[in-house]
Amino acid sequence: MAAFVSRYAQAFADVVAQFHLGADSVDQQLRDFLAAWDASGDLREVFEDPSVPAVQKIAVLDGMKSKLGLAPQVRNLLAVLIDHDRIGAVHEVVAEYHAELQRRLGVHQAEVTTARELNAEDKAALLAHVAELTQGRVDATFKLDPSILGGVVVRIGSKVYDGSVLGRVERLKEELAS
């Protein structure tokens, strides 16, 4: 991720908080713009073409503003990205904005890997334990990997909690080897 992506995302999160914009409304507006962006190669071509003046690109954006129902702050984010020739990274900026909001709300993204499918009760108990570890709320995605043999592996950012049978066997092997 380019350094500028984080700066734009943090600044936009500040604006959303400052103006007390509804996160759901802003999210919908960004999704609508990204859908138009993804659906139209012509739109991307115009916005990313360095020979088209920024003023003309922003005029196109302003034409889209009412159709998409963009709040002035959302429009301004997109206009700044256009003006600074960063609109090509709009997906990355939006993704980082979402991550920034999650951080500010104390929500941790977790990837939980298990050897077998968990029932709702087991998932809830596991998520409660992970929430204690992170001292915050957890938004988890679950995946299956039979190769871990049993137990669970939880990845939160760069931190990995390995409670799998395979992990235990590997640690035991290391201990016996030393």
**What CATH number has the domain bearing residue 43?**
1.10.520
Nearest by Cα to 19 from 98, 72, 58: 72
Residue 124 shares a structural domain with residue 97: no
Last residue of a domain, one of 103, 133, 150: 103
Domain tally, the chain: 2
pTM, to two decimals: 0.73
List the domain range (segments joined by +) for residue 20: 3-103
Distance CA 77, CA 94 (A): 10
* Same domain for 120 and 75: no
Torsions phi, psi for 138 (to 5 deg)? -125, 135
Instruction: Summarize pLDDT for 88-124 with one digit per residue, the tens.
Output: 999 999 999 999 999 898 899 899 999 999 999 999 9
The reply to whether 36 and 10 lie within a common domain is yes
Tell me which of 103, 133, 165 is where a domain ends. Answer: 103
Are 110 and 142 within 8 A, CB to CB?
no
Which of 103, 123, 151 is the C-terminal boundary of a domain? 103
What average pLDDT is seen over the chain?
A: 94
pLDDT in tens, 117-145: 999 999 999 999 999 988 889 999 999 99
Strand ranges across the sheet with 159-162: 137-144, 107-114, 152-156, 159-162
Residues 72 and 144 in one domain: no
Query: Bridge-partner residues for 154, per DSSP?
Result: 112, 161
**Domain co-membership, 69 together with 136:** no
Are 98 and 146 in a shared domain? Answer: no
Asked whether residue 88 falls in the same domain as residue 9, the answer is yes
Q: Are residues 143 and 79 in the same domain?
A: no
- Rounded Cα–Cα distance for residues 78 and 29 (Å): 11
**What pLDDT, on the 0 to 100 scale, is given for residue 106?**
86
